[in-house]
Amino acid sequence: MTRTRPFAAIILAAGKGTRMKSDVHKVLHPIAGRAMLDHLLGVLDGLGPARKVVVVGSGREQVEHLVEARKGEVVVQEQQLGTAHAVLQAEEKLGGFAGDVLILYGDTPLIEAETMARMLDRLNADDAPTVVVVGFRPDDPLAYGRILARDDGTIDKMVEYKDATPEERAVNLCNSGMMAVRSENLFDLLAKVGNDNAAGEYYLPDIVMLAAADGRRSAVIEAQPWEMAGVNSRAELALVEAEWQRRRRLKAMADGVTLVAPDTVWFAHDTIVGRDCVIEPNVVFGPGVRVADGVRIRAFSHIEGADIATGAEIGPYARLRPGAEIGEKAKVGNFVEVKKARLGKGAKANHLSYIGDADVGAGANIGAGTITCNYDGFFKYPTKIGEGAFIGSNSALVAPVSVGANAIVGAGSVVTRDVADDALALARGEQSERPGWAARFRTAMAAKKKSA
């Protein structure tokens, strides 16, 4: 269905979030490395809302930056008098807006675009319900508000758990809180909501009964329980993270990525992985990672802010930090850390190295234990290693320094001056030898011990 009416979104986020026990606003706690609220705003943006209004209580200053970056607006609900009161706070900002309104919760970040679209489509169906409510059937309905609906989805009543009779509590269709309402109906209905109930709060679900009193019907659509999972505590934050990860892993596999042990791979919100990549167990992606096709990421690697080209091999136990650019078929082996450095095509750093602020040419070989000494305690300096260069094991390259193409640095060197193309650089103590010294030493010491 193509939507012709514009829509606005009101996102409720004024709850105190007490159970998070945090100085950070609840909706800013991250899922897959991205604030919950940003997940929601991102999904919303995919549907092209005309307006986005976020209702916050305390902590406005924490949320504002993110909302403005997403071209949304913030309104403050000074006192948390209930969900209907919260939505009402957006009235002034939306003054004059004519269209559909989606009501969402900032602490329920897993809701999918498809569900939001279904809400709008249902609102605009031929029978034009006044309110569309998203319901769900969790394994344990806990203290959620209940929806009493007919088989065709028409809602007879919405009731909060606190106010419900035992029969009503036995209903397992729960209120997610998400709703769609036309702007021309929403604020009129909200104005009539009272607070004569068990909690003494202005309940948003009451608009369904207020519409019904006017002879207007409302409809429920159902969504998957996992989509409606809200975050009220750190434990729930972890559950929502787990659900997000579960879905992301399935998507990776559906896209042609082998996950040897899916449950042990952690993606970030923006991880991109190409086809025919193999990701071994216990790999963690931080934000900003792009992996091309046919890459193997071996066990226990930690990767963030990195770009990995086709056919490269990473790990086991590799650490790629922001600005790592790993070229085609390049190799970064165990206990190697790469930061803000490019490894050219086929370059190898296979063991125990730190490569930072560096440019490594194609086919270069970085020996075990090589360190780019990029920092003097005040500034960072670059290291350049030419194509085909060979850096012997346990070398320290003291930046700024460059090693020419096809040059060789002898093992154990401390390189402080540039090395020319094709040269051999040795920067280590010269070896001396005393023939027979060890044998004489042993004989003398053994005799001394015997007479002691």
Catalytic machinery residues: 351
Cα separation, 238 vs 20, in Å, equals: 12
244 contacts: CB under 8 Å, gap ≥ 6: 31, 32, 110
Three-class DSSP labels, 289-310: CEECCCCEECCCCEECCEEECC
Which of 30-38, 170-178, 305-313, 363-371 is the region at the interface with ligand UD1 (rule: CB under 6 A)?
A: 170-178
Interacting residue with ligand UD1 among 58, 62, 80, 334 (CB under 6 A): 80
* Part of the chain binding ligand UD1 (CB under 6 A), chosen from 8-16, 273-281, 391-399, 435-443: 8-16
User: Does residue 72 interact with ligand UD1 by CB under 6 A?
Assistant: no
Is residue 86 at the binding interface for ligand UD1, with CB under 6 A as the rule? yes
User: Residue 450 corresponds to which tokens in the numbers above?
Assistant: 């015997």
Residue type, 311: G
Helix axes 183-191, 206-213, angle to 10 degrees: 100
User: Taking CB under 6 A as the rule, does residue 328 contact ligand UD1?
Assistant: no
Q: Phi then psi for 219, rounded to 5 degrees?
A: -130, 150
The residues, any chain, with a CB within 8 Å of residue 71's CB and separated by 6 or more, are 52
Distance of CA 387 to the CA centre of its chain: 36
Q: For the chain, what is the radius of gyration of the CA atoms?
A: 31
CA distances from 141 to 172, 201, 228 (A): 6, 21, 12
Indicate whether 271 belongs to the interface with ligand UD1 (CB under 6 A): no
Assess 12 for contact with ligand UD1 (CB under 6 A): yes
Q: How far is the CB of 149 from ligand UD1 (least distance, A)?
A: 14
Pairwise CA distance, residues 329 & 309, whole Å: 7
Q: Is 111 in the site for ligand UD1 (CB under 6 A)?
A: no
Cβ proximity to ligand UD1: between 197 and 245 the closer is: 197
Determine phi and psi for 325, rounding to 5 degrees. -125, 110
Tell me the site size for ligand UD1, rule CB under 6 A: 26
Near ligand UD1 by CB under 6 A: residue from 203, 266, 285, 354: 203
Q: Does 110 bind ligand UD1 (CB under 6 A)?
A: no
> Minimum distance from CB of 91 to ligand UD1 (Å)?
14
Is 204 a binder of ligand UD1 (CB under 6 A)? yes
Residue 13 sits in the site that holds ligand UD1 (CB under 6 A): yes
Separation of alpha carbons 74 and 90, rounded Å = 9
How many Å apart are CA 73 and CA 68, to the nearest integer? 6
Could you tell me which of 122, 82, 244 has the C-alpha nearest to residue 135?
Answer: 122
Q: Is 14 in the site for ligand UD1 (CB under 6 A)?
A: yes
25 or 340: whose CB is closer to ligand UD1? 25
Q: Least distance in Å: CB of 29 to ligand UD1?
A: 13
CB of 63 to ligand UD1, least distance (A): 12
136 lies in the site for ligand UD1, by CB under 6 A = no
Taking the least distance from each CB to ligand UD1, the nearer of 194 and 256 is: 194
Quote the least distance from Cβ 202 to ligand UD1, whole Å. Answer: 8
- Residues at the interface with ligand UD1 (CB under 6 A): 12-15, 55, 77, 80-83, 85-86, 105-107, 144-145, 160, 174-177, 203-205, 230
